Chains A and B, each alone.
Chain A
Amino acid sequence: MTMGKTFAEKALGRAAGREVSANEVVTVEPDFCMSHDNTGPISRTFKKIGVANVWKPERLVVILDHGVPAPSSDHAVNHKEAREFMASQGAPHFYDVTSAGGVCHQKFCEEGFALPGLIVIGSDSHTCTYGAFGTFATGIGRTEMAAAWATGKIWLKVPESIKINVTGRFKVGVTAKDFILKVMGDVRSDGADYMSVEFHGDGIEEMSVAGRMTLCNLGIEMGAKNAVCRPDGKVLDFIKGREKSPSWEPLWADADALYARAFNYDLGEIVPGVAKPHTVDNYAEIGEVAGTKIDQAFLGSCTNGRLEDLRAAAEILSGRRIAVRTIVIPASWEVYRAAMRDGTIDALLDAGCIVCNSGCGPCLGAHMGTLAPGETCVSTANRNFKGRMGNKDSFIFLASPYTVAASALAGKISDPREVL
């Protein structure tokens, strides 16, 4: 009797052109290679290989986002190098510092590069976000990216898989972020090391594509190589008309596939939660931390800067006034414009928030909202590492857009269910 295949076994098997099983090493050709402000340094490493041209310029996707517009001359140099390199290679998919840009992972998906069954590598750890579209997507380093540009190949170990079964529906005030923070607390920050995390069940089918992006985005915070949801009708609707490759094919795990571990959740039992400083798996239900004084709230990032996230915050902040400085950064200009059109941006501005241009912003402490010593920030982003937002003596709580908005309103960490 043969055992069924996991998603990772199917996707990597398809790319390798043969049947593969967990722990085999395969060499595959990536469908797309994503990089951001680090494209300049990658191009320097690429030049050392001694190859004049990248293997297929149309496979490179470069989206500037980490420091945009450049907050320092060093950042500007990296941008300039990226710009010149892409032009010199005749590589068409370059997203510069313009209103066609945004956070790389959001743009990559909006532009139709994240497609079911494709293999995507990115020189950013949150590349796993694209699993929301049924893509096998994983983060790599710069040297490895330079090598992939030159050779069109990358070796990957077929990962073992973790199955997360999800049933039920969220109660009011609870979101995909609350769920995944709980999962991270259970799996721990190294519990999925080297593994593929599959999200299954009717709870996922109920969830929006944006919510699934939040889940897959945080796969890396459990150590995962990739994270993935089944590409269903919602995904196919989203990608329709955006596809940047003809060769995609929806793939999903067999019912009898073999998993290293399995977890079961009922979304109806999830409550608003946070990751306390300074590790992503330091989970607490909102009741344990409610009342903690905050100095700043941040709504944005590749984790939670999408339209439904901004709308969730506006749902709470409309007609009210924030008590602490609140920074809003839409994940892309497409999101920004949609939020302008439907009145969300006005509602957030009326409440006292400031709205910055699309980009990574303070998530990684580069600019636009770094913290002072002793300050506490409640943030919708993905990491609460010590010093992540620019100062080692500051504190970051990760939470949902609802919780961030409710906390901004009160000046302390607050349960959004009390103000919805």
Chain B
Amino acid sequence: MSEVLKGRAWVFGDDVDTDLIYHNKYLAETDPKKMPQYSFEYYPGKEKFAKEVKPGDFVVAGKNFGCGSSREHAVYCLKEAGVPVILAETCSRIYYRNAINNAYPVLFVKGLSEAIKCGRIKDGDGLSVELDTGEINDETSGAHFHGDAVSDLERDIMDAGGLIPYLKSKGRR
């Protein structure tokens, strides 16, 4: 029986780039715990995200989430804020690898971009998300979505707690 996560949705569009998630002016910061205060500072309409996000809230986005830079800050700032998973239709390759390597789940959800555009999933909606099965319910709108499961290698890295613990657990490969 897998755990069902419940929380509010923070909804974003397509092509949310790494500067919108975590702006380059804070790149010299290296302590992940200090990064959440800068999340989405430049995203129009989401300037209050950093202040108002609660642990358990979800980030919901359309296509190509995390495009742009390779900065891992863009993963840390959401993970450390307590966002348990990113729900996106698609996500950039480097962002995705950074997420997996930090044991941070991203669910790829078909149709999410369109659902966001036509308002079937909105800011503040209550969501329930089952990570193992990928089942997502918007309890406010009644919409249902399905996210793809991760591959075995990715699952192994996530289960170990990220790439560094994974390597340690296996010894030097």
Contacts and interface: CB of A to CB of B under 8 A. Distances in A.
A311 interface: no
Interface in A359-401: 364-366, 383, 385-388, 390, 392
Interface in B1-35: 15, 17-20, 23-25, 27-30
Interface string B66-109: 01111110010000000000000010111001100110000000
Given A25-B153, A151-B172, A193 B167 contact: no
Interface stretch (A38-46, A163-171, A209-217, A265-273): A38-46
B19 A143 contact: no
A194 interface: yes
Interface residues of B, number: 40
A189 B64 contact: yes
Interface stretch (A47-55, A244-252, A328-336): A47-55
A153 interface: yes
A360 to B, nearest CB: 10
A139 B42 contact: no
A387 B70 contact: no
A88 B98 CA distance: 27
Contacts of B93: 193-194, 223, 225
Interface of A: 25, 40-41, 44-45, 48-51, 66-67, 72, 74-75, 77-78, 123-125, 139-144, 146-147, 150-151, 153, 155, 189-190, 193-194, 220, 223, 225, 279, 364-366, 383, 385-388, 390, 392
Contacts of B172: 51, 150-151
B14 to A, nearest CB: 8
B63 interface: yes
Contact of B94 (A72, A140, A364): A140
B17 A143 contact: no
Given A125-B68, A223-B64, A141 B19 contact: no
B20 A386 contact: yes
Given A125-B70, A150-B172, A193 B64 contact: yes
